[in-house]
C-alpha cells in the first residue's frame, strides 16, 4: 500500500469511536497515543502494513464475569468483575486490579491500553492488562471485603498465572485485598506461585513495592527538573489523593526538602500551609489504611489546616504538582490556573489524571509535564522485580531495590526525553516521548510474530 493510501488520524479515531461506542476514557487514551504515533510511523511502512496501532488498540481479550457474595446482614450481593488482557507481545499480561463503584469496561480498557506502553517503558518483559470490579470497599467490614475478594478470585484464577497474567493493586486494592486474593488462589490451585504482586514481604512480596509508585513519580519529577538545572528542594507542592501513591509521593518530596501543601480524597482536599511533614503523612497513612477514614478529619486534627469540601487542590499556589488520585481529575481551567500561579512541573502519579485539554495547556505553556505512563511506572517496575524474585525464590534487600527503582526511572526519563525533544533540543514533550518509546518495543515484537 502506498503511504498516501493510509487512513489519517481522524479516520482512525472515527473507527475507534465506532467500535467502542460510548467508551469515553478508552477513546481518550487511544487518541492521546495515536496522535503521536501517527507522526512517528508516517514514513515507516512496516508498521502501517501490519496494522500495529490498530491491533494494540484492540484488547487481546476482555473477560467479564459475575461476582456473587454475601454481606454481613446475609444479603446476597452481585457485582461485575473484569480482566482486560490488552497485549502480551513482550511478556505476560501485567497490571493492577481496581475496586471502585465507577469501574466499567471503558475505564479498564483505557488502563490496560496505557499499561501496555508503561510496562514497555520499564524495560522489563511485561505485557499490559488491567482488571477490577464495581465493588465499593468503602464502609465494608473486613469480612465482607474478604468474602468479596475470595469470590472475585474464584472466577479470576482460571484466567491468570505467573507466566500468563499477573495482577496487582490499584485504587481500592492494597495489601489487605492482595492477601485475601492470593490466599484464595493458593487454596483453589494448591500452588504457591508469583501470580500476584504487591504481596506482603512475609509471603513473597518485594521490599519497596508499596513505596515504588509514589517515590518513582518524584524521581521522574527530579529527573525532569535536573534536565533544566533545577531541583525539588525548597519548592511548594500540591498533591491530590491520599492513598498509596499520594502518601508515598508526599513522603519523597518531604525527604528531598520540598514542602507539601495539599492532599485530597473524593470528599474534597485539605490545605496545610505549615506543610505536611513525615509525622503528618504517617497520620494520614494510618487514617486511610487502618481506620479507613476521610481526609476531612485531617483539618480537625491539625490546627492550621483547612478542608475544602467537594473541591480539588489545583488552585492552591505552588511550584510543583503531583496528581495522584484518579483519571480526569485535572481539567483545562485548572491547568490554566496552575500555569497562572507559576507551576513549573507536573508529574502524574495517577493514570491519565489530566484531561486532553489540560495536557494542551501545559504543553502550550511549556510546563515540564510527565504523563502517568512514564511517571508512575515505578510501581509496576518493582512489581516486575517482585516477579523476578519469586521466580528465583529469593528476596532482595531494600537498598538494591531502591537503587534499581531510581535507575529505571532515570532510564524512562532518558528514553522519553530522547523521543520527545523538539528539533532544537529545547522543550521536551514527554507525552510524545513516552508514547513513541513505549510503542516501538511492543510494535517491533509484534512485527517479529507476523500476523497473529
Q: What kind and span of H or E run contains 77? A: strand 76-87
CB of 282 to ligand 2IT, least distance (A): 23
Q: How many residues contact ligand NDP, by CB under 6 A? A: 26
Measured from the CB of residue 201, what is the shortest distance to ligand 2IT in angstroms? 16
Neighbour-count burial for 404-427, b at 16+ CB within 10 Å, e otherwise: bbbebbeebbebbbebbbeeeeee
Active-site pick, 94, 130, 288, 415: 130
In what helix (H) or strand (E) does residue 79 lie, and over which residues does it extend?
Answer: strand 76-87
Instruction: Give the C-alpha separation, 379 to 442, whole Å.
Output: 20
Closest contact distance (angstroms) between CB of 350 and ligand 2IT is 9
Cell of 186: 493458593
Rounded to 10 degrees, what is the CA torsion of 61, 120, 347, 327?
0
Contacts of ligand NDP in 153-172 (CB under 6 A):
169-172
Our finding on whether 194 is near ligand NDP (CB under 6 A) is no
Residue 131, phi-psi category: left (phi > 0), alpha (psi -120 to 50), beta (remainder): beta
Residue 245 contacts ligand NDP per CB under 6 A: yes
Judged by CB under 6 A, does residue 265 bind ligand NDP?
Answer: yes
Is 226 catalytic? The answer is: no
Contact with ligand NDP (CB under 6 A) among 179, 205, 243, 358: 243
Terminal-to-terminal C-alpha distance of the chain: 20
Look at the block and give the residue holding cell 478542608: 307
Residues 3-62 within binding reach of ligand NDP (CB under 6 A): none
| 86 touching ligand NDP, by CB under 6 A | no
Q: Return the CA Rg of the chain.
A: 21
- Please check whether residue 381 is in contact with residue 408, taking contact to mean a CB–CB distance below 8 angstroms: yes
Instruction: Give the nearer residue to ligand NDP in terms of CB position, either 174 or 258.
Output: 174
28 CA to centre of own chain: 16
Measured over the CA atoms of residue 275, residue 173, residue 195 and residue 87, the dihedral's sign is: negative
| Whether 245 contacts 289, CB under 8 Å | no
Q: Give CA–CA dist 436/433, Å, rounded.
A: 5
Q: Residue 303, exposed/middle/buried by CB under 10 A (0-12, 13-18, 19+)?
A: exposed
- Please tell me whether residue 276 binds ligand NDP under the rule CB under 6 A: no
Q: Which does 197 bind (CB under 5 to 8 A by kind): ligand 2IT, ligand NDP, none?
A: ligand 2IT
Q: Nearer to ligand NDP by C-beta: 373 or 432?
A: 373
Nearer to ligand NDP, 87 or 262 (CB): 262
Q: How far apart are CA 287 and CA 278, in angstroms?
A: 14
| Residues found near ligand 2IT in the complex (CB under 6 A) | 94-96, 115, 118, 168, 170, 197, 351, 379-380, 383
Nearer CB in complex with ligand 2IT: 88/197 = 197
Closer CB to ligand 2IT, residue 200 or residue 365? 200
Minimum distance of ligand NDP from residue 190's CB (angstroms): 29
Q: How far is the CB of 245 from ligand NDP (least distance, A)?
A: 4
* Site for ligand NDP contains 242 (CB under 6 A): yes
95 binds, among ligand 2IT, ligand NDP, none (CB under 5 to 8 A by kind): ligand 2IT
Q: How far is the CB of 337 from ligand 2IT (least distance, A)?
A: 27
Contacts with ligand NDP by CB under 6 A lie at 100, 102, 169-172, 174, 213, 241-246, 265-267, 324-326, 329, 349-351, 376, 379
Amino acid at each position: 500500500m502506498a503511504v498516501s493510501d493510509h487512513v489519517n488520524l481522524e479516520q482512525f479515531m472515527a473507527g475507534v469511536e465506532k467500535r467502542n461506542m460510548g467508551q469515553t476514557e478508552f477513546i481518550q487514551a487511544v487518541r492521546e497515543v495515536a496522535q503521536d504515533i501517527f507522526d512517528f510511523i508516517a514514513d515507516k511502512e512496516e508498521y502501517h502494513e501490519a496494522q500495529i496501532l490498530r491491533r494494540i488498540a484492540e484488547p487481546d481479550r476482555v473477560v467479564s464475569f459475575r461476582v456473587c457474595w454475601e454481606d454481613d446482614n446475609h444479603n446476597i450481593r452481585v457485582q461485575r468483575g473484569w480482566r482486560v488482557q490488552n497485549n502480551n507481545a513482550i511478556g505476560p499480561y501485567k497490571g493492577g486490579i481496581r475496586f471502585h463503584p465507577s469501574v466499567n469496561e471503558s475505564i479498564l480498557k483505557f488502563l490496560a491500553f496505557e499499561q501496555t506502553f508503561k510496562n514497555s517503558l520499564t524495560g522489563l518483559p511485561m505485557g499490559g492488562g488491567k482488571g477490577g470490579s464495581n465493588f465499593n470497599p468503602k464502609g465494608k467490614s473486613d469480612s465482607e471485603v474478604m468474602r468479596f475478594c475470595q469470590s472475585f478470585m474464584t472466577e479470576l484464577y482460571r484466567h491468570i498465572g505467573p507466566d500468563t497474567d499477573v495482577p496487582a493493586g490499584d485504587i481500592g486494592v492494597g495489601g489487605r485485598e492482595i492477601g485475601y486474593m492470593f490466599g484464595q488462589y493458593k487454596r483453589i490451585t494448591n500452588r504457591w506461585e508469583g501470580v500476584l504482586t504487591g504481596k506482603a514481604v512475609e509471603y513473597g512480596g518485594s521490599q519497596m513495592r508499596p513505596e515504588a509508585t509514589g517515590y518513582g513519580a518524584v524521581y521522574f519529577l527530579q529527573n525532569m527538573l535536573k534536565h533544566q538545572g533545577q531541583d525539588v528542594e525548597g519548592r511548594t507542592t500540591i498533591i491530590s489523593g491520599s492513598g498509596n501513591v499520594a502518601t508515598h509521593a508526599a513522603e519523597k518530596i518531604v525527604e528531598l526538602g520540598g514542602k507539601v501543601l495539599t492532599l485530597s480524597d473524593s470528599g474534597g482536599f485539605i490545605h496545610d500551609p505549615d506543610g505536611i511533614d513525615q509525622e503528618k503523612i504517617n497520620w494520614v497513612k494510618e487514617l486511610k489504611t487502618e481506620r479507613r477514614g476521610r481526609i476531612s478529619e485531617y483539618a480537625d486534627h491539625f490546627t492550621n489546616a483547612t478542608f475544602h469540601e467537594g473541591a480539588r487542590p489545583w488552585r492552591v499556589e505552588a511550584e510543583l504538582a503531583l496528581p495522584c488520585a484518579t483519571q480526569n481529575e485535572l481539567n483545562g481551567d485548572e491547568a490554566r490556573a496552575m500555569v497562572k500561579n507559576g507551576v513549573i512541573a507536573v508529574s502524574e502519579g495517577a493514570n491519565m489524571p489530566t484531561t486532553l485539554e489540560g495536557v494542551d495547556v501545559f504543553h502550550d505553556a511549556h510546563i515540564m509535564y510527565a504523563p502517568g505512563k512514564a511517571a508512575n511506572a515505578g510501581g509496576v517496575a518493582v512489581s516486575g522485580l517482585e516477579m523476578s524474585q519469586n521466580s528465583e525464590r529469593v528476596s532482595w534487600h531494600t537498598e538494591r531495590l531502591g537503587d534499581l527503582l531510581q535507575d529505571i526511572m532515570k532510564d524512562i526519563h532518558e528514553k522519553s526525553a530522547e523521543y520527545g525533544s523538539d528539533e532544537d533540543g529545547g522543550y521536551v514533550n514527554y507525552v510524545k516521548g513516552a508514547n513513541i518509546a513505549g510503542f516501538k518495543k511492543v510494535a517491533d515484537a509484534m512485527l517479529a510474530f507476523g500476523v497473529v
